Each structure stands twice: as structure tokens, then as C-alpha cells.
Structure 1
Amino acid sequence: MKLTVPMMLLGVLGWPAAVLAQTTTTTTTPIEHVIVLVGENRTFDNMFGAYQPKRGQTIANLLSKGIIKADGSPGPRYADAAQKTAENFGAYTPTPKTVGTYPTLPQPYALGAFGQRQDIPDARFPKTMPNGPFQITKHTGYGAHTGDPIHRFYQMWQQTNGGKNDLFVWVAETTGLGPSNPWLPLGPGKPTFQGGVAMGFYNMSTGDAPYFKHLADTYAIADNYHQPIMGGTTVNYLALATGDVSFFTADGKPAMPAAKLIENPDAQPGTNNWYTEDGYRGGTYIRCDDMALPGVAGIRNHLKALPYKAFNDGNCAPETYYMVNNMDPAYSPAGDLLPVAPDKFLLPPQTIPHIGDGLTAAGVSWKWYSGGRNDGVKTDKEYCAMCDTPTFFTSTMTGPDRHKLHDLQQFYVDVKDAKTFPAVSYIAPYDSISGHPGYAMETSFDALAQDVITRVKANPALWKNTVVLVTFDEGGGYYDSGYVQAIDFFGDGTRIPLIAVSPFSKRGHVDHTYYSHASILKFIERNWKMLPLSSRSRDNLPNPVSDPRNPYVPLNQPALGDLMNLFDFKRAARTEK
């Protein structure tokens, strides 16, 4: 289907007028409303590692693989998840040489956790635990603030270690949060305040996360859905909206950021994997087209060694500095352009197309709801600016689409009227109920998901043709045992949960198709007959062709599904309330 784009957007989107012929709001499925609800920082195994699916379904998780038993204790194949030690002196590599195995798991820390000491090991956990996954709630109870695992770009590449998934603890213990952070005395030879926190999981078999278990039993989940970019919140929220990565700009064009903002993951002299520059107040940008620059050759050589060709040869445009770690937008919620400077840690205005641009071009209604947006940056730990993704973009913040960005409170008003509710909407929670380790709890996002879904169901005219896609921005650095497909220089990353809640969802189904955030874009585009967002966005990738004997690894890599396998559109919608 060809689309009509308002003339004011042609320059922004870069779509030639010849391919833009008509506008459509007709859907190809019975789904007329897509709501994307995004929690924070949970891998699939962290949430669903002990989930037991309905009879007739199979799943890939800690329990099914024999890594744990249903009671959370070590299983017969516990050693498959054992964490290794490694060496990486000098130039960075995403696959360091492993040299040993941890005899026991280092005691977790509670870094970032409300109400807990940050600078000593978390006394709620034993000083020594078996080397592998552990059930968090055996030590803290259900509903507690716990530590925040490291989850930055170069660290995540090393954590997954080329698919072995055996360096989560070693990476956390050797690089920590990065050397440019003023709030902890970090440096070579000093503690990273991590320990084995990354190996924690919740146990649905013993009563944890009961609402998410109910959703999985009742609707459809994916056990092969991934965060698209190695790293944290900003890059993965941006990929959720663009299928791409952002970059440093000046006057809307690629430019070079200040030297202190450029990543350098090469080990400092005399250290084992202590990065030269990678801090929340330091390295953020990478230029991945130049093999001579720090950190680049290791990943590019890893991609070249794959048995298939990476997407767009790595997706590294010339002389472009891509943002791979967290920054806030240069626009305020009100649309004011804030000063961009090396000490401000703001991403300059972005011009790549995002899903809002595509929906507007197609004449499809949309809104982005963000908790605390009305209060802006004044509310401590409530408004997540980096989660308010359209705020990063010139097309939105300088045009009429700015009025499609709302506080979460507006969702509670809009959901009551099916006739005016947007076709596509995204919900970014208040920080305190996002489920993020440290300052939020897993239980808080459970409660938000239940509240949102209950409100949608309370409006039968809306519920009858809606899907609520519940997912997480990224895995937060938690361990996961699943396969990871290398697509380009930037990822994929670890598995994260996805639940499709709809009258048309397959009942109690576990879908093994390989998906990522770009799969949500593909679903929206297929449903409303839209084009991919750009030539380099991952919504261009084909749907996977799979071998039934191993459905988790596409035969036609790189490939991403479009979520259609989660639904059964041939039968009438269910009418449960």
C-alpha cells in the first residue's frame, strides 16, 4: 500500500513523493488498537525462568533446561549457567578469553536500591551462593528493592560472550558502572558494587509475579523476544520507535561530539577489562565505521565471523557517532530546545523517522503517554525523559504532533471512549512503578499492567478489537539463557518478556518465533499497510524461516518476525471480561 504524507513531513521522513499515493486507516487484521506498555529492565529468565506453560506448550527457560528446579534450587544442568572469569588486556573484545569459573557466586550488592546500603554487600543474601541463577525472593521476600545490574553497551556484548552467556558476573566485577561516575569511588582495583546480582530471578512456580503468570496462562507470550540494542534505556526506547539507533547531530546532520563523550572500552594499562572511558558522565557515542577506533574492531570482526551477513554490513554510516548509552532529549516536554553541551548529557535533536512520523503520514492516529510528563523534570524519579521517546525528534517537537504527547493521566481519560481512543499508543510508566531494579520493584509494574488491562477490558467497545503488548525496554543486565542473534553492530541483546493481551491472542500459547522491538513496528506496519520507516531500520528484515527442530534460530538470519504468530484471527474474539 502506498501512502500520502503531509508536505511538511516529506523533508523529515525522506520518502520520495512518487511512492506516496494514498492514505489508509483500514487494518489487515481485526486489531484496530495497539497499546504498547513498557516496563523496565527484566530479561525473560529473570521474569519467566521458572514459568510452566499450559499442557501442550513448550518453553525455553531456566526450568525447562534443567538449570533450576521448580522450587528455585539448582537443577541437574545448573552448571550450564555457571559464570566464568576471563582476561581482556588492552584492546576491547566482545568475546574475552575465559580462564576459569567462579567457585561460588560473589555476594550481590544493592546498588541503587531504596532503603539499602549501597557500598557493602547486600546482607539479605548469603556471603556465598552456588555459581548460577538464584531465586531473589528466597532471600528478600516478594516485593523488595534490589540492586541494579550493570547494563551498558560494551558490557552487554561481553556479558553474552558470543552466545555463551557466561560473563555476566565477571563483566560486572571488572568494569562496574564505568570510570567517569562521581557518586562512587570507582577505579581500577576498587569495588564495582555489583557482585552476583545479575543472576537473580523470580519464581512463578512458587507464587512470584502472579499477574504475569495469569497473563501467560490466558493469552500468548513470546519466549524468543529480544531487546534490539546492547545497552540501556535510551537506545532501546529509541529502537522501539525507530528500529534504528540515534546519533550526534549539529544542525540536523551527523557531527563529532566532545572527546569526553566518546566511548573507549579498551582496558586501562595494567588492568583486566577496566575500560578507559565509559561512564554515565562520560563515554556515550561510538563511531563504528572506523576499525582503528577503540571498541570497533572487536565487534566488527565478530560480525564478520558469523555464518551469515550482518544487516547493512553492520549498519555503520560513515563518520557518524552513534549514541549507545543513556542520554536525555534536548527538547523539554513543553518543546523548548535546551542547550547541548559536553556537561549537559543531552542528545541533540534527531531527524531519523520514528513510528509517530510514519503513522501521521499514513493518517493513523497515535499518542505517547509518559508518567509524570506534566511535571517534567521537576518530579524526582517519576518522569523518565529518556522514555518519552518522541521528545527526541524535531519532527514531533516542532510540529503539530507535539500535542500527541501526554501524561499517563490522560490515558485514564482516553481509555473510556473507544471512538476517540488512538489506533496506536505507547505507555511509559512513572519511574517508581516501572519495575526498574533499584528505585522500583517488579511488583509495581505487575500492578500497573493489571490496572491498564483492567481499564481496557472495562470498555467492551475498545477491548473487542485491541491488543495490549506488554514488554520491557531492555533486560537490565540480568542473566538470560536464550539464544541471541547478532544483527548488526548494535545488537540484538538478551531476551525480554513480551505478552500479547487481546481477545484474538492464542490461548496459553508460547511462541518461539525470533522477535525484537522492531517486530512491533512490523506488526503496526503490516496491520495498517505502511512502509518500513527507513532503508536502515530493522523493520526491513524478513520474517524468520525456522527449522521445527530448533525454532529459536532463524535459518535466514538476520530475520525478525512481525508478531502475527501470537494471534488467531480466524475465530471470533473472546468475550471474557
Structure 2
Amino acid sequence: MPAAAAVGDAGAGSSGNGHPSTIPGGFKHLVVIYEENHSFDNLYGGWGSVNGQAVNGSQSVAQVAQNGTTYDCLPQVDVNLASPPLSASCTDTTHNIVSHFANHTFTIDDYIAPTDTTCPPAVQGTPFKPNGWLNGTGASGGCTRDLVHRFYQEQYQIDGGKMDRYTTGSDAVGLTQGQYDTARLPIYQYLHSDGAPNYVLADDFFQGAFGGSFLNHQWLIAARTPLDTTATVNNSIVDANGMPNTYPQYTPTGTVKDTQWTMACPGGGNDYAAACGNFAVNTIQPASPPHASGAQLPLIDDTKYPNIGDRMTAAGISWNWYSGGWDDAVAGHPGVNFQYHHQPFNYFAAYAPGQPGRAHLQDETKFIAAANDGTLPTVSFVKPYGDENEHPGYASEPDGSDHLVDLLKTITDGPDGKDTLVVVTYDEFGGQSDHVAPPVVDKWGPGTRIPALLVSKKFEGSGVDHTSYDTTSIVATIEKAFHLAPLGTRDAKVNPLFSGIRIGLDG
């Protein structure tokens, strides 16, 4: 290991307030790039090995119907995967399915190429097509339809660790078993090209909470689920199987209701440990602008429920949240695919317009300028704009991966490149299946395994890290690096990313 600072040490120096001045390992900058909606198997399942070290890659798990019987064929509703236009080569009379796909994983690229015109045009007024755009009618990029990724549905899909109900618990049914050809992804090709920085692939990294983007962005910065302080909310209602909705392969066993909030507690009130009451778990809008129409979460009181930004500011640690399209959205003319619920600090009172914390919310263009100028803050969170974040349904996976490569090149080729550790991960699974059962920690998660990489020009070699992590490992790394108090119970106990850093530095 280089002598600058051992992993876990305070670093090469300390700031005037007694906090370390470097990230463990001697890094002066940490950049977290937060991509969208892919499970590990879906995106990195075909990574193979790294310097002879095996990656826990994709394995097919036979999907079962609501009654527990195994499908023979995978039903499909994506307009480019249904039969027609594909041949109906698989017939499942027991479950009344005629499909092109047998009950196992398949490669999406074999049916939807990166150049296919299956993406929705990024134009205001474009109609919503839930099952996607038929090739030849949309924009280029090889998009699939979107897949449901919500709090209760994911728990049903995981099925106590059996990982066999993704198809039944999804509006996109068999698309849950689709996977990309990892070796064809721009990020894979870049990291295996001459002159690329070394990397560490973390193959046991899970999304922090069950469900979708809104909640996992909250867990990224606050390691907890926010409480809605509104007097009354429209609580979810689940059936005997824990499901709140109807899907092509799922019929509820009783009354259901699928809302932004957890189900009511049997005795009323709010019980965080039991995950019941007025907790916001599915997409809800921030009270501060910019926001879309719809239900809003009241401003979160930072004095009661702080986030990692509050902790860093109090400690004198420089940081920013950089979001693609932020300046346009604040100015009142957001891009078609700007996602308001991907801006987690905007839900907190300390970051409302006019508050000092607002200065930490900046446009991605300012991050690129700082990386080029050598003026990166100690900690940067980077959230790409919708068209470039890899989200199924409205974004192209290969185009998003191209943008990710551009960001990595900007960072590693910049003046701060040698002193910067980059963490690349995804907010959640996006409804895609994975074969690795997540650890059972609490009622909130962790959820499905997701891709995660550590990248640095300072790394001496590439490797694989089999340490168990979840999204809160990122804030735990910051907390332990700078001796900050944990935000909650999960980040207090989860593994920080120190093992992965050590692997990269040792080479």
C-alpha cells in the first residue's frame, strides 16, 4: 500500500477543527456518481473475472407463479419482446402463456440493439406508452419499457430470499429476467481499455431500502425513511401476500391500495421499527421548488433528522450535490426528463430556497468545471440528467453508460484525478431480478443487489471486493473518514468501503 495514509487512518493531515483532511487511503476527494435502476445481474452479471478473481455473476432463478408453480415460459408485454413481433416458440398451457422466451434469463441486446429506435422522444407532449415504443417509431438508443420498482412489490419479488417472484410481482412480467451483454457496455469497454484507471468491483452491494428512487436517494444521504408529518395520509393496503396492486400475473387476495406511504400500524401512530404508519416510501414530490404536481412531503426538519450534508457542513468539510439540468429546473424550464424526486436534499428544510444549504445544490456543469479546473470539493455527489442516467423506460442504457464514461474521464484526467476516489453505483434495481438474496437487516431493507465500482487513478491494480455493503456504506465511509456521528442505526453498523479501497491500493 502506498505510504500516503493507511486505509482507516485519519489521512495525511487534519483540518483546523480536528477532522481529517483526506479520505482514508490518502484521497483528498470523494466523488459519488449515482446512476439509475439496474440490478447487478441485469447490468454486470456478465463481468467475468478481474485479474483472475471471480465475480459473483449472473445465475438464472426459475420464476414462479402466484400459486407457487414454476412457469414454463416468460410472459412479455414490452412491445419489442412480445409475440408478435417475436415468434411464439414457447407455450405454457398451465399458465396460459405463449411467448418467445423460456423461463430463464435472456440477453436484451439480442432483441433490442443500442441503435434501435425504441426510446421515447425527449420532447414535451410526447405520449406515454407503458409498454414501450415499437422499433422504428421512437428515438434511437435501444430503450426497454419501464418496470415497477416499489416498496411492497420488491419485498414480494424477493420472496424471503428465494428471488423467484420478480416476474409475477411486476407490471413488466418477463422483462425482469432480461440482462445486458456486460462486455458490450461502454463502461466495461472503457475500464478494460489501455490507459484506463484501475477499479474495484463490489459484487455484494445492495440497495439500501426496498423500492424505488425516491426512497433510496433518501437512504443515500440520510440513511433512513422520512416521516410524513401531515395529519392524515393515504396509507397503502396490502393483501395476505404483502402485495398492494394488480399485475398481469398477480391477482390480489383482498382489498389493496398502492400509495406513497406505508400501511397503517394496527394500533395507529407510527412505528419505524415495524415500517408502518405515515412513512413516505414511494415517489412523492418535495415541498420546495422545483417540483412536479402531486402529493408533497412536508419539509424534513434537519434538527431532528439530519443528513450527511448537515454533518459535513457542521464539520467544515466542503461538499456539493451536482445534478444534471438543475439550473434549468430552478429557472422554471426543466428538461423533459428532469426528475424532481432524484434531488434528495431538496426535501430538507435547511436546503429550501433562501436557506444557506441551498448553495450546496448545483448544476452538473459546475461539477465538470470543477473537475477540469482542479477545484473539486472534498465530497461530490453527481446525479446525471434523466436522458443520461440509464433509467429504463425514458433513458438509453448505452447512452447513459457513455455519459458515465465521460464523467470518469473528466475526473481522472483532471488536476485532481490522482487524489480522487470515485464511487459508481445505482439507486436501486429498477424492477430487474438478481439471484443473490440480500441480507436481512431491518424492515426497510436492504433490497436487491446493485452494481457498484470504486475507480481511481491512484489504484495500483484492479480487483473484486466480496464484502457485504449497501447504499448506506457510502455515508458510513464519510462518517468514519471524518469522525462524524452516524445518521441512524444502519450506517452505524454497515461496512464502510475501506476493504474495496485497500484492494485497489494494494493492487
Deviation at 1:482, TM superposition (A): 1.0
Is 2:173 the counterpart of 1:195?
yes
**Structure 1 pair 124–510 and aligned structure 2 pair: CA distance change class (3 A):** farther
| 1:471/1:224 CA distance change after superposition, 3 Å | same
Contact 2:36 2:430 in 1 (8 A): yes
Report the alpha carbon displacement of residue 321 of structure 1 after superposing the two structures with TM.
1.1
CA contact (8 A) 1:51 1:213 kept: no
Q: How far does the alpha carbon of each residue in 1:126-176 deviate from its partner, in whole angstroms, 9 at most, with x for none?
A: 63311011100011123401021111111000000000000011112xxx3
- Is 1:107 aligned with 2:80? no
1:227 paired residue number: 207
Determine if contact 1:109/1:121 at 8 Å carries over to the other structure.
Answer: no
- Structure 1 counterpart of 2:54, from 51, 58, 68: 58
Q: Offset at 1:505?
A: 3.8
Contact persistence 2:86–2:100 (CA under 8 A):
no
- CA deviation string 1:495-537 (max 9, x = no partner): 001110113446221111110110001111122222212xx34
Taking structure 1 as reference, are residues 83 and 374 closer, same or farther at Cα in structure 2, changes over 3 Å only? same
Code of the aligned partner of 2:370 = D
- State the superposition RMSD in angstroms: 3.0
- Determine helix, strand or coil for the equivalent of 1:378: coil
Partner of 1:405: 361
Shift of 1:195: 3.0
Find 1:442's aligned residue among 379, 397, 412.
Answer: 397
Q: Structure 2 CA distance, aligned partners of 1:125 and 1:149?
A: 23
Matched, 1:483 2:437: yes
**Is 1:519 matched with 2:473?**
yes
TM-score, normalised with respect to structure 2 = 0.80
Q: How does 1:383-462 map onto structure 2 within 5 Å? A: 383-397=338-352, 399-418=355-374, 420-460=375-415, 462=416
Match of 2:447 among 479, 493, 513: 493
C-alpha displacement of 1:443: 0.8
On the 8 A contact 1:504/1:567 being kept in 2, the answer is no
Structure 1: distance between partners of 2:319 and 2:341: 19
Unaligned runs of 5+ in 2: 1-15, 89-98, 115-140
Query: Where does 1:168-317 land on structure 2 (aligned, <5 Å)?
Result: 168-172=166-170, 176=171, 194-204=172-182, 207-212=183-188, 214-215=190-191, 218-249=198-229, 255-258=230-233, 261-266=234-239, 272-273=251-252, 276-279=255-258, 283-286=259-262, 290-291=265-266, 315-316=273-274
Structure 1 position 59, deviation (Å): 1.7
Distance 1:122 1:359 in 2: 55
CA distance in 1 between counterparts of 2:263 and 2:238 reads: 13
Other-structure match for 1:183: none
Shift of 1:433: 0.9
In 2: Cα distance, 1:199 partner to 1:161 partner: 16
Q: Residue 158 of structure 2 contacts residue 164 of structure 2 at CA under 8 Å; is this kept in 1? A: yes
Q: Which moved more, 1:505-514 or 1:403-412?
A: 505-514
1:439 is displaced (CA, Å) by: 0.5
**Cα distance in 1, alignment partners of residues 409 and 212 from structure 2:** 29
Output one character per residue of 1:379-437: Cα deviation in whole Å (capped at 9) or x when no partner. Answer: 3433211111110000222521101111112112222232x321111111111111000
Equivalent pairs: percent with the same residue? 30
Measured in 2, the distance between the counterparts of 1:399 and 1:233 equals: 25
Query: Residue 237 of structure 2 aligns to which amino acid in structure 1?
Result: N
The alignment status of 1:24 with 2:13, answered yes or no, reads no
**Which runs of 5 or more structure 1 residues have no equivalent in the other structure?**
1-20, 68-77, 88-97, 111-115, 177-193, 250-254, 297-312, 542-559
- Between the aligned partners of 1:350 and 1:493, the Cα distance in structure 2 is 24
Q: 2:85 aligns with which of 123, 146, 167?
A: 123
Helix, strand or coil for the counterpart of 1:416? helix
1:286 and 1:269 map into 2 onto residues whose CA distance is 14
Cα 1:569–1:359 change in 2 (3 A) is: farther
Which of 103, 109, 113 is residue 141 of structure 1 equivalent to?
113
Shift of 1:277: 4.4
SS of the residue 2:496 aligns to: coil
The 3 A distance-change label for structure 1 pair 354 and 125 is: farther
For 1:406 and 1:168, the matched residues in 2 are separated by 37
CA contact (8 A) 2:207 2:470 kept: yes
**Is 1:84 aligned to 2:39, yes or no?**
no
Q: Are the structure 2 counterparts of residues 380 and 26 from structure 1 closer, same or farther at C-alpha, using a change threshold of 3 Å?
A: closer
How far 1:214 sits from its partner (Å)?
4.2
| 8 Å CA contact 2:273, 2:442 repeated in 1 | yes
**1:270-303 deviation digits (Å, cap 9, x = unpaired):** 9832774444xxx111256x3468xx9xxxxxxx
The change in CA–CA distance for 1:51 and 1:316 in structure 2 (over 3 A counts) is same
Q: 1:394 to 1:277 in 2, by over 3 A?
A: farther
Whether the 8 Å contact between 1:240 and 1:517 is mirrored in structure 2 is yes
User: Would you say 1:471 and 2:428 are equivalent positions?
Assistant: no
